[in-house]
Amino acid sequence: MESLAKLSGLSHAKKDHLIHSLWSIVGELRQEVSGLREQAHRLEIEKTSLQAQAAKNSSNSSKPPASEGLRKTRSLRKRGERPVGGVPGHKGSTLERSETPEHIVEHLPPPQCEACGTRLEPGEYQARQVFDLPQPVLEVTEHRAWQARCGCGHLQQGVFPDEVKAPVQYGARFKAAVVYLTQYHMLPAKRTGELLEALCGTHPSTGTVMNLIEQGRRRLEAPHRALAEALLRQPVVGADETGARVEGRLHWLHVLASESLSWLSVHPKRGLLAFEELGVLPRFRNILVHDGFKSYAKLECAHALCN
């Protein structure tokens, strides 16, 4: 480009030509800047979209867990905390010998001396003990209700126990195991049947598992009511509720607890309607500790707030 000193010596025609050239260059630069701005805007949108996709996982979107691959486990311990394992200098614990083993297996030496052939009698022995589970098999108990007819013609009948109602059925311990596995260890009904087949050789169907769970629920109704009545007599009771899914729908798990008792019940509602239908809190007159949820304020008891 011409310097300012040289520009002063240009004719008007040359100056006009230079101005037109510069004006053309400015127009091209304006178009280029406009294009770069549009490109930057598109890239910003794309970056935002990619960041949103990267933030999605199976817990906050419809992505299946399998799409995430195998995540590296992260320790929940903070740096500086005691590592996993025994404390240096702490005496560990192990199995203790049993003085009354259920089974004894004798391992005798050869009856004759391997050196000279003299007959040998067993002398001292060393003992090692193995702790193991017994072979889990179902035991079958047959109940027989006999009849006896008197010479006078009267017939008397033996009576089956109340819990023996069918020609063939599962016993109390088996039913308890089904409820324990499904309700405490949260095993699905199908896997519970598979586990029992592997351990005991019998495979209850999913329908049977569900029926046994229902039987367990009915047997707990009376203790559940008794527990609620006992909580009404406690001087201080804590109350809370937390959301839970029942058949895919939001329900509320209501909890009442004292120093030694805990009572739980599920209801579709969270507030006063649930309190009334569950029937415990409206009758409580002592100190109720809660988080300040507004429905608690309508209860006729002494109130204490937790954090």
Structure-block tokens of residue 247? 């058949």
**Pair 285, 301: CB distance under 8 Å:** yes
What pLDDT sits at residue 55? 82
Dist. CA 301–CA 307, nearest whole Å: 19
For the segment 166-198, what is each residue's pLDDT rounded down to a tens digit? 999 999 999 999 999 999 999 999 999 999 999
Spatial distance between the Cα atoms of 253 and 245, rounded to a whole number of angstroms: 9
Greater confidence (216 vs 19) lies with: 216
Which residue shows structure tokens 């409820």? 179
Contact 239, 281 (CB under 8 A): yes
Q: Which of 74-83, 141-150, 210-219, 241-250 has the lowest mean pLDDT?
A: 74-83
pTM above 0.85, yes or no: no
Supply the CATH classification number for the domain 222-305. 3.30.720
49 has pLDDT over 70:
yes
Residue ranges covered by each domain of the chain: 168-218, 222-305
The pLDDT score that the predictor gives to residue 300 is 95
Q: pLDDT band at 46, cuts 50/70/90?
A: very high
The residue-averaged pLDDT of 127-149 equals 93
Degrees, nearest 5: CA angle 201-206-207: 120
Angstrom distance (rounded) from CA 281 to CA 299: 7
- Give the pLDDT of residue 77: 72
CA distance 190 to 210: 10
Is residue 254 within 8 A of residue 228, CB to CB? The reply is no
Find all residues with CB under 8 Å of 93, minimum gap 6, and list them.
Answer: none
- CA–CA separation, 180 and 216 (whole Å): 10
**pLDDT tens figures, 241-258:** 999 999 899 999 999 999
CB atoms within 10 A of CB 73: 6
Query: Is residue 23 packed enough to be buried (19+ CB in 10 Å), middle (13-18) or exposed (0-12)?
Result: exposed
pLDDT above 90 coverage of the chain, percent: 72
Alpha carbon distances (Å) from 293 to 12, 16, 252, 285, 307: 86, 81, 14, 18, 12
Beta-bridged to residue 157, according to DSSP, are 147
